[in-house]
Amino acid sequence: MYDNSAFQQIKQRVDIKTVAERYGLVFRHNQCKCPFHAEDTASFSINDEDQYFYCFGCQTGGDAIKLTELLFKISPMQAAKKLNDDFSLGIQFGRKAEQVETVKRPPTAAELQRDFDIWVHDTWLILNGICWLLTDWKETLLPSHPRYKDVLQDFTAIEGLCNIFLQGKRGIQLIYKYHKGDIKRYFSKYEKFLIKE
């Protein structure tokens, strides 16, 4: 049903850890907190050699396409195309894929809901990354450091936002979607550090 060769090519051309990092996961060595279940320890790990991920907490695992699928709650085809676009892989998809792509109609309520869920998930991923970053700074900066107070303040705020996006009420998340000044401000302040890491 899918253009299998395109899928294979994508997997050969992307590195799963690079994909995971690009989509917001923050690693210590090859491990990080799992984006698919709530946890305090880092059970999510990457196997560089075989190019797959696996979570020892919730037993979720798979390749780079599967990871993209799950992170963005999209189909395997959409995940393959997203990787193709985001990493400029330049892979041509077969005719079946084109046909799927060219269907144009207004989005259904379920699709709008899914888009919203994806937005919530993406936002949470970045917030979670910032949370880790600030945790790190909190532990390594001396209290006398000029940035220390700011980091403490932002950490508390970011932690609150993380919770809203991880398990908060849809109504509150909606408010943030349409009045996202705070989130935008934190993203522009810290996102550059995430990319660097």
Identify the residue among 30, 57, 118, 152 touching Zn ion (CB under 5 A): 57
Q: Is 36 in the site for Zn ion (CB under 5 A)?
A: yes
CB closer to Zn ion, 167 vs 188: 167
Residues in the chain, overall count: 197
Binding-residue total with Zn ion (CB under 5 A): 6
- In the complex, the smallest distance separating the C-beta of residue 55 from Zn ion, rounded to whole angstroms, is 3
Question: Can you read off the two tokens belonging to residue 28?
Answer: 């210590």
CB closer to Zn ion, 37 vs 189: 37
Question: Can you read off the two tokens belonging to residue 165?
Answer: 């996006």
User: CA-to-CA distance for 179 and 197, rounded, in angstroms?
Assistant: 29
The residue range among 54-62, 82-90, 97-105, 181-189 that interacts with Zn ion, by the rule CB under 5 A, is 54-62
Q: Is 80 in the site for Zn ion (CB under 5 A)?
A: no
Q: How far, in Å, are 15, 85, 124, 181 from residue 8 at the CA level?
A: 13, 16, 30, 41
- In the complex, the smallest distance separating the C-beta of residue 36 from Zn ion, rounded to whole angstroms, is 5
User: CA-to-CA distance for 11 and 24, rounded, in angstroms?
Assistant: 19
- In the complex, the smallest distance separating the C-beta of residue 149 from Zn ion, rounded to whole angstroms, is 34
Q: Is 58 in the site for Zn ion (CB under 5 A)?
A: yes
For residue 54, the surrounding DSSP H or E stretch is: strand 52-55
- In the complex, the smallest distance separating the C-beta of residue 85 from Zn ion, rounded to whole angstroms, is 27
Identify the residue among 55, 64, 126, 133 touching Zn ion (CB under 5 A): 55
- Nearest Cα to 23, choosing from 54, 58, 68? 68
Segments in the chain forming alpha helices (H): 4-13, 16-22, 64-72, 76-86, 95-102, 109-140, 148-167, 170-178, 181-196
CB closer to Zn ion, 12 vs 41: 41
Q: Is 34 in the site for Zn ion (CB under 5 A)?
A: yes
Binding site for Zn ion (CB under 5 A): 34, 36-37, 55, 57-58
